[in-house]
Amino acid sequence: MKIQSQTSLSCLELRRLETGDAIRLAVFFESLSEDSRAFFYPHPLNKGTAFDLCKLDNDSAMRFILEDPIEQSIAGYFILDFKVDKHEAERYRNYDVDLFRGRNAMLDLVVSERYRRQGFAYNSLQELLVLLEQTDAEQVILRDGCLSQNQPAIGLFTKCGFNTLGSYWTVEEHRDMCLKMSEVSINRT
């Protein structure tokens, strides 16, 4: 899928992650700043994780990369996972949301600093929501929430229709956000 920038004529390609992407995904993960990696703690975004992810072909997730076709590099990584984590379900139960009832997708994404604030993440999410409309997914939640200090990400998710249900603390505050697929309005720009 072609993903157009909202601020320039740049165009990237959103596609499924393939086994042959392991080296480029490792380079992408290792090119992320320490600040970006901190948003995903305790999940290591490193070479080993990249190779492990590219080996997975029968798990419950759909994995995508956002690719710069000119530079032959990865600009972003997206996961839609239909297997609900037990700790997520327990936390969402506090909001009267039963993640084990129906089909729900857990979303996680990271976009390279170089490609942020240009509309690539927003336009990619719009395309992924179109794919989710073709499944029986009822809602999308953010895996492990979104760090409250990550205001650009919170703005992105809010713009896409996610609502904040509450928050929880680990070392820092995280916002639990949810998008009901019945309320999705796809905006292709």
Q: Flag whether pLDDT at 188 surpasses 70.
A: no
Q: Which of 55, 5, 60, 3 is nearest to 26 (CA)?
A: 55
- Give the chain's radius of gyration (CA, Å): 16
| 3-class state of residue 157 by DSSP | helix
pLDDT digits (tens, 9 = 90+) for 42-80: 678 999 999 999 987 767 889 999 999 999 999 999 999
The pLDDT value given to residue 112: 95
Angle among Cα 137, 101, 135 to the nearest 5 degrees reads: 15
Q: State in Å, rounded, how far the first CA of the chain is from the last one.
A: 13
pLDDT digits (tens, 9 = 90+) for 126-165: 999 999 998 889 999 999 899 899 999 999 999 999 999 9
What is the share, in percent, of the chain residues with pLDDT greater than 90?
68
Map out the domains of the chain as residue ranges.
Answer: 2-183
Token pair in block for residue 6? 């909202």
Domain 2-183 is of which CATH architecture?
A: 3-Layer(aba) Sandwich (3.40)
- pTM recorded for the entire structure: 0.91
